[in-house]
Amino acid sequence: MAFRDDGAEKARVLVEALPYIQKFAGKTIVIKYGGHAMVDPLLKESVMLDVLLLHSVGIRPVLVHGGGPEINAMLKKVGKESQFVHGLRVTDAETMEIAAMVLVGKLNTEIVSIINRFGGKAVGLSGKDASLFLAEKKPMRLPNSRGEMEEIDLGYVGEIYQVAPDLIETLLDRGYIPVISPLAGGEDGETYNINADTAAGKVAEALKADKFLLLTDVRGVLRTLGEPESLISTIRREEVTVLMEQGVFSGGMMPKVECAIAALAGGVGSVHIFDGRLPHAILLELFTDGGIGTMFT
């Protein structure tokens, strides 16, 4: 009897997923992958299996990854302290070299290897390949102790001003899974470090993706901080200003919300912010009636 009950539950899950699979078949979904799900080996495999399943049922996934914890660890090994301003890594020449080594030489190849080991066809890229991203030095102005606005030099931190999606679309059309690290070239010949959330959002906009998924280390947008049961499942664009005034978007959630709103304005169908630490979080968000995070529409 236990076996039959287990089988019935599996069948129910598949039946619940079917209309979503049918709805999203042929659609492009951009996934920003980072946080704890990128550090834990079991969670890493769980995410890659989800991506591969999406691909196997006819969805066109594009993966854009970060790598902050790994970059921090490598900088620590060489005796260099990580510095951040408003969540952006201050990136001098040495830090840029280390970030590129970690993002492209280590993490990108690891992700591609896992997907391919499971039977997928992943291709690793950086934003510098085929001038996928063009960026310029990101300006930053903050008030000083006298209340005057002062220029802050973030080093080789870039702001993307152009995305050329042709290479990604060609790979998708030929059945490949693009895996992109957030580096960009500039017309000045420099390499720039790009915030992974921002890079993923720009890719989603350029592809006019049906969905943009942001995997984070929190459940989603909470109406009351620290109370998971206060999760807001759906937020419409016209509600964002009111929620901002109410202080709902606190701490590190604010940049992600701004990224979500920019993506919607750029033509993305919907943006989902959810906890990537849950095993198979992508499937739970996309293929179940309730989802597990917050959807912006």
Asked if 250 and 225 touch (Cβ cutoff 8 Å), the reply is: yes
What HEC string does the chain produce? CHHHHHHHHHHHHHHHHHHHHHHHCCCEEEEEECHHHHCCHHHHHHHHHHHHHHHHCCCEEEEEECCHHHHHHHHHHCCCCCCEECCEECECHHHHHHHHHHHHHHHHHHHHHHHHHCCCCEEEEECCHHHCEEEEECCCEEECCCCCEEECCCECEEEEEEECCHHHHHHHHCCCEEEEECEEECCCCCEEECCHHHHHHHHHHHHCCCEEEEEECCCCCECCCCCHHHECCEECHHHHHHHHHCCCCCCCHHHHHHHHHHHHHCCCCEEEEEECCCCCHHHHHHHCCCCCCEEEC
CA distances from 79 to 48, 72, 74, 75, 94 (A): 33, 10, 9, 6, 12
Q: Is 185 annotated as a binding residue?
A: no
CA distance 67 to 86: 17
Q: Is 35 annotated as a binding residue?
A: no
Q: Is 147 annotated as a binding residue?
A: no
The set of residues, in sequence order, having a beta carbon less than 8 Å from that of 226 and lying 6+ positions away, is: none
Q: Is 293 annotated as a binding residue?
A: no
CA distance 204 to 27: 12
- Binding site for substrate, by residue number, is 67-68, 89, 193
- Binding site, by residue number, is 67-68, 89, 193
